[in-house]
Amino acid sequence: MDGAAVTAGGPYEVVTLGRVGVDLYPEQSGIGLAEVRSFARYLGGTAGNVAVAGARLGLRTAVLSGVGPDPFGDYVRSALTGFGVDASLVATVPDTQTPVTFCELFPPDDFPIHFYRRPVAPDECLTPALLDVPAVAAAVRTARALWITGSALAVEPTRSTVLAALDLRAGGEVWFDLDWRPVFWADPAQAPALYARALSYATVAVGNRAEVEVAVGSADPETAAGLLLERGVRTAVVKQGPAGALARTAAGERCVAPPVPVTVVNGLGAGDAFGGALCAGLIAGDPLPQVLRAANAAGAIVASRLACADAMPSRAEIDALLRPGAAPLPRTGVERS
C-alpha cells in the first residue's frame, strides 16, 4: 500500500469500505441457475460498485477492502483500476478466496442472489491494524467522505475496523449505506444496535425500506427519515423503489424524486448506482432535488443492464435520460428464455 498513491491528485473525494468480489451473472433470463447455459463475469460487491459509480461521474475514489491471493483477486484489482478507482487500499488476505456471487433473473422484481463467501470472505477479515498503515490512515482521515456499508458490520474483525475508521474521521463526513444482507449475520438481532452505533457518526444515511426498518424500526419512509434525523444525520435518504426516492434534511428540506420508468433486466446494482450518483451530487453541492433525480436515473440505467459495476453510467447518459422526451432505455445483456 503505497502512500504516494493516496496523495496523488490530492485526497480522495470518497473512500468506500466494504465488499468487493466477482459477479457471475446469467446471460439467460427467466430460468433458474440449474438451467442457465452461460454466465458473464463482472466486478461486483457494493463498496466496489459505489466507488466505480462515483469514478464514472468524475470523483477520485478508492476502496478499502480485501481479496484472496488468487486470480479473481488479481481481476478485482485490475478491474477497479480500469474503471479509475484506486485499488491500492485493497488488502490481500491469506488463506481466503475472493468472493463470487451468482444471481437469477426473474424481472421485473425477483433477483435471487447466491453469495459464495464460506468459510470466511477476505473483506470480513480486515483488522484495525490496517489503519496503522500510514497510507490507509491518511486515505480514511483526509477523504471528503467515507462511505461505509452495513454489511461490513456483520462480522469481526471487520466490524471493529469500521468503527476504528469512524473514529479516525473525527467529525468528518460519513455516509452510511445501510446495505442490509441478513445472510451475512450469524445473529441478525445484533444489527440494530450496531447500526445505531454507526449512525452516531453518520452525516448522511441511505437505504431502502427494508434497510431503514432494521436501522430505526420503521419501514414507513417519512417516519424512518425522521428517525434517522433524530439519530443525528444531516441528510436521510429512503429509496422507495417504484415510488421513487425521499430525502429529508436536518435543516427542514424535504423532497421526493419520482422513479424513472425502465424495462428491468437486473435490479441488482441499481442501488449502488444510486449511491455513486448521490456521492457525486453531494460532493458537487448540487440542489438536493437535482441530486435525487440524477441518482434515480443512474439506478434506472443500471437496472436496464445485466452488470453492476461494469454498467455504471456516465454523466452524459444520466443527463440524456433526464431530458424531456428521452427515448426508453434498451434492454441489454441477456436473452429471454
Instruction: Write phi, then psi, for 167 (nearest 5 degrees).
Output: -60, -35
Instruction: Please spell the DSSP secondary structure of 58-88, one letter per residue.
Output: T--EEEEEEE-SSHHHHHHHHHHHHTTEE-T
pLDDT at 101 over 70: yes
Q: What pLDDT digit, counting tens, does each position of 116-161 carry?
A: 999 999 999 999 999 999 999 999 999 999 999 999 999 999 999 9
The per-residue pLDDT for 333 is: 67
H or E element at residue 250: none
Rounded distance between C-alpha atoms, residue 312 and residue 177, angstroms: 18
SS3 content of the chain, % helix, strand, coil (to 5): 40, 20, 35
In terms of Cα–Cα distance, which of 165, 182, 183 is closest to 174? Answer: 165
Q: What pLDDT digit, counting tens, does each position of 203-249 carry?
A: 999 999 999 999 999 999 999 999 999 999 999 999 998 889 999 99
pLDDT at 2 over 80: no
The per-residue pLDDT for 64 is: 98
The per-residue pLDDT for 3 is: 39
Rounded distance between C-alpha atoms, residue 207 and residue 163, angstroms: 19
pTM over 0.85: yes
Judged on CB neighbours under 10 Å (0-12, 13-18, 19+), 328 is exposed
The per-residue pLDDT for 171 is: 85
The per-residue pLDDT for 329 is: 73
Residue ranges of the alpha helices (H) in the chain? Answer: 3-7, 46-56, 71-82, 134-142, 158-169, 191-199, 209-216, 221-230, 270-284, 288-303, 315-322
Task: Locate 332 and state its grid cell.
Answer: 441489454
The per-residue pLDDT for 5 is: 41
Calculate mean pLDDT across residues 151-178: 96
Q: How far is CA 325 from CA 22, 316, 320, 328, in A?
A: 36, 16, 10, 9
Q: HSE-up of 21 (CA within 13 Å, CB side)?
A: 22
Q: Please name the residues in contact with 110: beta carbons below 8 A apart, sequence gap of 6 or more.
A: 104
Calculate mean pLDDT across residues 12-41: 97
Q: HSE-up of 297 (CA within 13 Å, CB side)?
A: 23
To the nearest whole number, what is the mean pLDDT of the chain? 94
Chain centroid to CA 253: how far? 25
Rounded distance between C-alpha atoms, residue 174 and residue 14, angstroms: 10
Rounded distance between C-alpha atoms, residue 288 and residue 9, angstroms: 27
Percent of the chain with pLDDT over 90: 90
Other CB atoms within a 10 A radius of the CB of residue 144 amount to 18
Percent of the chain with pLDDT over 70: 94
- Cβ atoms 75, 48 nearer than 8 A: no
Per-residue confidence band for 251, with pLDDT thresholds at 50, 70 and 90: very high
Rounded distance between C-alpha atoms, residue 76 and residue 308, angstroms: 13
In terms of Cα–Cα distance, which of 20, 62, 70 is closest to 42? Answer: 20
